[in-house]
Amino acid sequence: AVLVVGGGIAGTQAALDLADSGYFVYLVEKSSAIGGVMAQLDKTFPTNDCSMCILSPKLVECGRHLNIEVITLAEVEEVKGDAGNFSVRIRQRPRYVDVTKCIACGRCAEKCPRKVVDEFNEGLNQRKAAYVKYPQAVPLKYAIDAENCIYFQKGKCKACQKFCPAEAVDFDQKEEVFELKVGAVILAPGFEEFNPEVYDTYGFARYPNVITSTQFERILSASGPYEGHLLRPSDKTAPKKIAWLQCVGSRDLHRAARGYCSGVCCMYAIKEAVIAKEHATEPLDTAIFFMDMRTYGKDFERYYNRARDEIGVRFIRCRIHTIEEDPETRDLVISYVNESGQLESEVFNLVVLSVGLEISEEMEDLAKRVGVELNFDGFAETSSFAPVATSRNGIFVCGAFNGPKDIPYSVMEASAAAAASEVTLAEVRGSLTKSKSYPEEAQVTGEEPRIGVFVCNCGINIGSVVRVPEVVEYAKSLPYVVYAGENLFTCSQDTQENMVKTIKEHRLNRVVVAACTPRTHEPLFQETLREAGLNRFLFEMANIRDQDSWVHSSEPEKATEKAKDLVRMAVAKAALLEPVEEIKVKLSQQALVVGGGVSGMVAALTLADQGYKTYLVEKTDRLGGQALRLKKTWKGEDVRQYLRDLIDRINAHEKIEVLLNSTVVDVEGFVGNFNSIVKSGDGERTINHGVAILATGAGSYKPDEYLYGKNERVFRWHELDDAIENDPELVRSAGCAVFIQCVGSREPQRPYCSKICCTAAVQKAIHLKELNPEMDVFVLYRDLRTYGRREELYTEARQKGIIFIRYSLDNKPVVEEGESKDGRKVLKVTVTDHVLQMPVTLEADFIHLATAIYPRDHEDLARFFKVTLNQDNFFLEAHMKLRPVDFATDGVFVCGLAHYPKPLEESIAQAQAAAARASIILQKEEMTVEPIVSVVDQEKCIGCGLCTTLCPFGAIRLVELPGKGYRAENISASCKGCGICAASCPEKAIDMVHFRDTQIMAAIDALGEDLNEPEFVETRDE
Q: pLDDT tens for residues 28-37?
A: 999 999 999 9
* Residue 697 scores a pLDDT above 80: yes
Work out the pLDDT band at 1010, boundaries 50, 70, 90. low
pLDDT in tens, 579-633: 998 888 889 999 999 999 999 999 999 999 999 999 999 999 999 999 999 999 9
Residue 52 is predicted with a pLDDT of 85
Work out the pLDDT band at 786, boundaries 50, 70, 90. very high
* Residue 206 scores a pLDDT above 70: yes
The whole-number average pLDDT for the span 259-272 is 96
Question: What is the torsional sign of CA 45, 49, 55, 57?
Answer: negative
H/E stretch holding 982? helix 980-984
3-state DSSP assignment of residue 825: strand
The whole-number average pLDDT for the span 214-237 is 94
Residue 437 is predicted with a pLDDT of 85
CB 931 within 8 A of CB 582: yes
- How does DSSP assign 467-509, residue by residue? -HHHHHHHHHTSTTEEEEEEES-TTSHHHHHHHHHHHHHTT-S
Residue 105 is predicted with a pLDDT of 85
Work out the pLDDT band at 875, boundaries 50, 70, 90. very high
Q: What gap in Å lies between CA 721 and CA 207, rounded to an integer?
A: 53
Q: 483: how many CB neighbours lie within 10 A of its CB? A: 18
Residue 824 is predicted with a pLDDT of 84
Q: What angle do CA 320, 324, 330 make, to 5 degrees?
A: 125
Q: What gap in Å lies between CA 310 and CA 317, rounded to an integer?
A: 19
Lowest mean pLDDT among 36-40, 188-192, 801-805, 949-953: 949-953
CB 592 within 8 A of CB 570: no
In sequence order, what are the beta bridge partners of 27?
Answer: 4, 70
Could you give phi then psi for residue 120, rounded to 5 degrees? -60, -40
* Residue 714 scores a pLDDT above 70: yes
Q: What gap in Å lies between CA 346 and CA 326, rounded to an integer?
A: 12
CB 796 within 8 A of CB 259: no
| CA-based nearest residue to 689, from 618, 583, 607 | 607
Q: What gap in Å lies between CA 333 and CA 324, rounded to an integer?
A: 5
Residues 6+ apart with CB under 8 A from 555: none
* Residue 961 scores a pLDDT above 80: yes
Q: What gap in Å lies between CA 267 and CA 720, rounded to an integer?
A: 33
Q: What gap in Å lies between CA 290 and CA 961, rounded to an integer?
A: 70
Residue 823 is predicted with a pLDDT of 77
| CA-based nearest residue to 112, from 91, 89, 128 | 128
* Residue 384 scores a pLDDT above 80: yes
Q: In this prediction, what percent of the chain has a pLDDT beyond 70?
A: 99
Q: What angle do CA 388, 252, 400 make, to 5 degrees?
A: 20
| CA-based nearest residue to 974, from 907, 929, 939 | 929
Q: What gap in Å lies between CA 377 and CA 842, rounded to an integer?
A: 37
Work out the pLDDT band at 1019, boundaries 50, 70, 90. very low
Q: In this prediction, what percent of the chain has a pLDDT beyond 90?
A: 82
Work out the pLDDT band at 110, boundaries 50, 70, 90. very high
Residue 493 is predicted with a pLDDT of 78
The whole-number average pLDDT for the span 252-260 is 84
Mean pLDDT, the chain, whole residue set: 93
* Residue 164 scores a pLDDT above 80: yes
Work out the pLDDT band at 1022, boundaries 50, 70, 90. very low
Q: What gap in Å lies between CA 110 and CA 41, rounded to an integer?
A: 26
* Residue 859 scores a pLDDT above 80: yes
Burial (CB count within 10 angstroms: exposed 0-12, middle 13-18, buried 19+), residue 375 = middle
pLDDT in tens, 524-553: 899 999 999 999 999 999 999 989 998 898
Specify the DSSP class assigned to residue 380. Answer: B
Q: What gap in Å lies between CA 755 and CA 761, rounded to an integer?
A: 11
In angstroms, the first-to-last Cα distance of the chain is 63
Q: What gap in Å lies between CA 566 and CA 471, rounded to an integer?
A: 10
Q: What gap in Å lies between CA 141 and CA 143, rounded to an integer?
A: 7
pTM here is: 0.89
Could you give phi then psi for residue 60, rounded to 5 degrees? -65, -40
Strands 776-781, 736-743: pairing is: parallel
Specify the DSSP class assigned to residue 883. Answer: B
Residue 833 is predicted with a pLDDT of 87
Q: Which amino acid is at 807?
A: Y
Could you give phi then psi for residue 276, rounded to 5 degrees? -60, -40
Residues 6+ apart with CB under 8 A from 312: 277, 286
CB 567 within 8 A of CB 542: yes
Q: Which amino acid is at 907?
A: S
pLDDT in tens, 316-339: 999 998 899 999 999 999 999 988
Q: Ramachandran region of residue 772, left (φ > 0), alpha (ψ -120 to 50) or beta? A: beta
Residue 1009 is predicted with a pLDDT of 67
Q: Put the strands of the sheet holding 176-182 in their side by side order.
A: 74-82, 85-92, 176-182
| CA-based nearest residue to 181, from 34, 391, 416, 394 | 394
Q: What gap in Å lies between CA 349 and CA 363, rounded to an integer?
A: 36
Strands 451-456, 510-515: pairing is: parallel
CB 574 within 8 A of CB 541: no
CB 378 within 8 A of CB 359: yes
Residues 6+ apart with CB under 8 A from 6: 28, 29, 36, 187, 188, 189, 190, 399, 401
